[in-house]
Chains A and B, each alone.
Chain A
Amino acid sequence: MSGQIEAELLKIRSTRTTIGLALGMIALIVLFALLSGLLTKAPHLMSSQDQLGLLSVGSFSGVFSALAGIMLITSEYRYGTIRPTFLVSPRRSRVLAAKLAAGLLAGLAFGVVGQALGTGIGITILDARGITYAPGAGATALLLGGTLAASALWGAIGVGLGAILRNQVGAIIALLAWGFVVENLLFAFVPSVGRFAPVHAQNGLFGLTTKHLLSPAAGAATLIAWTAALAAVGIALAARRDVS
């Protein structure tokens, strides 16, 4: 099994896809952190919640983790490498389990980079503008730990979604449409349901106190449940379906 995970980690490292995603993530987080840190008027950056919101720009790493997870499985179907992969390792559930583990690790790495940037830029800007850092150590730790955990889980969610859909473009569109459109509409109109959707469960996990969000513990449990469900369906489908 460790050989299988090593194989998956090597797949992530041996193309330029991952570095491209990482550069995209860095550019986006730096841009958003600078824009919201420099353009937000000081009165709107005084409360602990406002400042945590600024620092949480780093959690954009989750999107890129999910994309990395999607690429890890869908590019195998797209380029046909799924055939040699399954020929060498015919126990497909083990291949998928290794991909999930690799997705978690890659997601964690994205989370570390993203959160370091988000937090670093946010705190530097607050300091430069003479604004006192308000959140307590507990709230800060929750945001940082939550981002790392969520980012790792998004990596696995990407693998699960990709294993279900197989089509690369389809999976990417599904992820972005869900995360940026469907979920926001759901939360806006039916918050009692929308708060259980993955992105909003994640926001609950971060300790953000937007009305209707889940508590950090419930948010964590919900996001883990989403990951486990997508992973289980992805494994079951990959094991059953014919490879063309």
Chain B
Amino acid sequence: MSDPSVSGVPVVRAESLTKRFGSVVAVDDLSFALAPGTITGFLGPNGAGKTTTLRMVLGLAAPSRGRALVFDMLYADLPQAALRVGAVLEATDFHPGRSGRDHLRTLSRAALLPDSRVDEVLTLVELSDAARRRVKGYSLGMRQRLGLAAALLGDPELLVLDEPANGLDPEGVRWLRDFLRDFARKGRTVLISSHVLAEVAQTVDQVLIINRGKLVVESSLEQLTARVGGSVRVRSPEVSRLQEALSRAQIATSPSNEHALLVHGTTSDRVGDIAFAARIPIHELASEASSLEDVFLELTSEPVR
């Protein structure tokens, strides 16, 4: 995804994006690019600099160094920004005394969109019934959907969501996942941040993982999965012969202890078959409980500030 020549101009391109707050470097020399039609998970623990990065991409905060381009332009220079980009940064950005519909109407007026579009997006997020009630009576899930409705007003090509699953019930999470899948299928692009990989693992194509403001991993979800996938612990009285047999099959291993190996990038079935073929006795064979989440935690486990 970092090769823009594959698919033309990247939808978002960050170039050495850096943000300092006094002596604290919140975002540190971050570069990445998003290709059209992709769903990217922007991941990292709380305080890693995700929201600050999104604010710089969306023109709400000025970078200390570097720049972020959206459709090859600074966000502030985008003509009719609402028709290109929709974003939800906080689930609570509403005046409590204003109705959901009026909130959307204030935005649609500024974007020169008709009231009929307001009613369309209210239907889309299934909020029509509550639209004329004051937001103070909305549940968190309803506020999330109202925020999404606001982002969708201009039928944008890029959707940026900061921690959208916070406060959503499981049904809402699934609704959002289906919605985003459908959105990306139309060739549109999604950037979605989260501090929990599992929350977005079923939704995203690729991940950007940052920790302490720095990019730690930029890869497709498959690559990340392969990196974890099928770590197998195998115990045998003939560890060295087993290691040879596995390396002949081009399978990487690392010693676990005197009588055991950790086997990477394969399944316990395959390890068992290879051992059987080589007539090596096996005393124990187990898939390690390592998961995407473990890798994510390992990559980001340094204490944050």
A interface residues, Cβ below 8 angstroms from B: 3-4, 6-7, 10-11, 14-17, 75, 79-81, 83-92, 95, 240, 242-244
* B75 located at the interface, meaning its Cβ lies under 8 Å from any Cβ of chain A in the complex: yes
How far apart are the CA atoms of A90 and B153 in the complex, in Å? 16
How far apart are the CA atoms of A164 and B111 in the complex, in Å? 25
A14 touches B102 (CB 8 A): yes
Question: A-B contact count, CB below 8 Å?
Answer: 92
Given contacts A7-B110, A15-B98, A80-B92, contact A89 B81 (CB under 8 A): yes
Q: Nearest chain A CB to B193's CB is how many angstroms away?
A: 15
Pick the residue among B60, B82, B94, B153 that contacts A243 (CB under 8 A). Answer: B60
B90 touches A7 (CB 8 A): no
How far apart are the CA atoms of A196 and B87 in the complex, in Å? 46
A87 touches B58 (CB 8 A): yes
B110 touches A3 (CB 8 A): yes
A86 touches B106 (CB 8 A): no
B90 touches A83 (CB 8 A): yes
- Residue among A79, A85, A92, A95 with most chain B CB within 10 A: A79
Q: Nearest chain A CB to B35's CB is how many angstroms away?
A: 23
Q: Nearest chain A CB to B58's CB is how many angstroms away?
A: 6
How far apart are the CA atoms of A15 and B134 in the complex, in Å? 9
A90 touches B99 (CB 8 A): no
Chain A residues whose C-beta falls within 8 Å of the C-beta of B58 in the assembled complex: 87
B109 touches A80 (CB 8 A): no
Q: Nearest chain B CB to A232's CB is how many angstroms away?
A: 20
A75 touches B109 (CB 8 A): no
B107 touches A84 (CB 8 A): yes
Would you mind naming 26 contact pairs between A and B with Cβ atoms under 8 Å apart? A6-B109, A10-B102, A10-B109, A11-B98, A11-B106, A14-B98, A14-B102, A79-B94, A83-B60, A83-B89, A84-B93, A85-B107, A86-B59, A87-B60, A87-B81, A87-B89, A88-B81, A88-B111, A90-B76, A90-B77, A90-B81, A91-B76, A240-B62, A242-B61, A243-B60, A244-B55
How far apart are the CA atoms of A56 and B97 in the complex, in Å? 33
Q: Nearest chain B CB to A26's CB is how many angstroms away?
A: 20
Q: Nearest chain A CB to B91's CB is how many angstroms away?
A: 10
Pick the residue among B55, B96, B102 that contacts A79 (CB under 8 A). Answer: B96
How far apart are the CA atoms of A242 and B87 in the complex, in Å? 17
Chain B residues whose C-beta falls within 8 Å of the C-beta of A87 in the assembled complex: 58-60, 81-82, 85, 87, 89
How far apart are the CA atoms of A83 and B92 in the complex, in Å? 11
B106 touches A90 (CB 8 A): no
Chain A residues whose C-beta falls within 8 Å of the C-beta of B6 in the assembled complex: none
Chain A residues whose C-beta falls within 8 Å of the C-beta of B246 in the assembled complex: none
* B112 located at the interface, meaning its Cβ lies under 8 Å from any Cβ of chain A in the complex: yes
A83 touches B61 (CB 8 A): no
Pick the residue among A6, A15, A81, A243 that contacts B61 (CB under 8 A). Answer: A243
* B286 located at the interface, meaning its Cβ lies under 8 Å from any Cβ of chain A in the complex: no
**Proximity string of chain B (149-167) to chain A, C-beta cutoff 8 Å, 1 when within and 0 when not:** 0100110000000000000
